[in-house]
Amino acid sequence: MIKTAIAAFGFLALSSGAAFADGCATTSSESVSFGDNIAEAVAIGDDCANSVALIIVRDGDGAPLYSHATPARYLFGFYEVTDERSMADFLDELIGVRFGGGAFTSSELPEWPEGADFPGGEFPFYPEEWVDRGEYLRFQSMDAPVWCHVQGQESSACLIIDGDRLYKIGVQTFPG
């Protein structure tokens, strides 16, 4: 069903004037589950060098809850992409297929010491503006599903399931 929805998205892009010729329109080889949600990745472009990577999180019924689109060349690991097969591998890495799905629980978020500006040490976690230390500690105590996806050269965007809602709670940095 998800692959069908992605194919339909690709068809709509094609029929709306996007020209792919021998382009780079591909999907991750697998999706990642966290909670009742499914994360997947798609690349669309005239060629792989100029493609856009689209990350989508859907609920159990297939309705989109979150999306993130970025020119693929600006994402960590893109330097290895040369064709659709390597693009599919790259998309798998963006959503964490090779890393146990990129999902963990909120109790595993980095500690936020009292008086510190943000959590973490050498590679800090930068919470969204609306997430203060109290809210962050509440998230940690919930032991809720968290999923992170690559969003840049040295960072991953992290989402949490809070009851029946999905929020982006911040960005985890990593060595690039």
Place of tokens 């990642």: 32
- pLDDT at residue 11 above 70? no
The pLDDT assigned to 164 comes to 83
Confidence of residue 176 (pLDDT cuts 50, 70, 90): low
The pLDDT assigned to 18 comes to 40
Considering just the CA atoms, what is the radius of gyration of the chain in Å? 17
Show the tokens assigned to 82: 């040369």
The pLDDT assigned to 5 comes to 43
Residues near 160 by Cβ (< 8 Å), separated by ≥ 6?
106, 139, 144, 145, 146, 166, 167, 169
Domain count, the chain: 1
**C-alpha neighbours within 13 Å on the C-beta side of residue 5:** 15
- Asked whether the whole model's pTM tops 0.75, one would answer yes
The pLDDT assigned to 57 comes to 93
DSSP-based three-state secondary structure for 138: helix
The pLDDT assigned to 22 comes to 61
Pairing of strands 125-127, 165-173: antiparallel
Task: Work out the average pLDDT over 99-106.
Answer: 75
Q: Which domain holds residue 41?
A: 2-173
